Amino acid sequence: GLGFNIVGGTDQQYIYNDNGIYVSRIKKDGAAYLDGRLQEGDKILAVNGRNLKDLRHKDAVELFRNAGSNVSLKIQRRLQPQNGPVGHQGDGESGGLPLAAVLVPGLALAVAAVWILLRYRQRM
């Protein structure tokens, strides 16, 4: 196969009010993983020029199975992380900076500024 799983379709909407086909998982060492351009959460708009709009899930799967060895995908990159399994890291991490990495230096700067201000006032 192409090395990724899909979700969605007219009969299995993944996102409310959206019949689109989305990449749910990219298999390690599969073709999509090795290529590196496709990402989990991407919406697939077309396969080899064939529009995926308003297809049932099983019809979209069949298109991918019959796509051949040279496959062209038209995708829409996910703008924001979705709730649910798309983009889920699975290791408890959000994928961004931990809150402490932002708060601790900011708090340290605020304490230093107050200390300098108090020392400066005592000298006046």
- Res. 89 pLDDT band, cuts 50 70 90: very low
In a domain, 62, yes or no: yes
Q: Report the predicted TM-score, pTM, of the whole model to 2 decimal places.
A: 0.62
Give the number of domains in the chain.
1
Residue with the larger pLDDT of the pair 97 and 99: 99
In a domain, 18, yes or no: yes
In this model, does residue 108 exceed pLDDT 60?
yes
- Measured in Å, how far apart are the chain's first and last C-alpha atoms? 76
In a domain, 91, yes or no: no
In a domain, 105, yes or no: no
pLDDT of residue 18: 93
Indicate which CATH number applies to the domain containing 68. Answer: 2.30.42.10
Average pLDDT over residues 60-86: 80
Q: Is 85 exposed, middle or buried (0-12, 13-18, 19+ CB in 10 A)?
A: middle
In a domain, 71, yes or no: yes
pLDDT tens string 7-37? 999 999 999 899 999 999 999 989 999 999 9
In a domain, 82, yes or no: no
In a domain, 89, yes or no: no
DSSP letter for each residue of 69-122: SS--EEEE--SSPPSSSTT--SSS--SS--HHHHHHHHHHHHHHHHHHHHHHHH
The domain in which residue 46 lies consists of 4-76
In a domain, 69, yes or no: yes
* DSSP state, residue 2: -
| Closest C-alpha among 46, 50, 55, 49 to residue 18 | 55
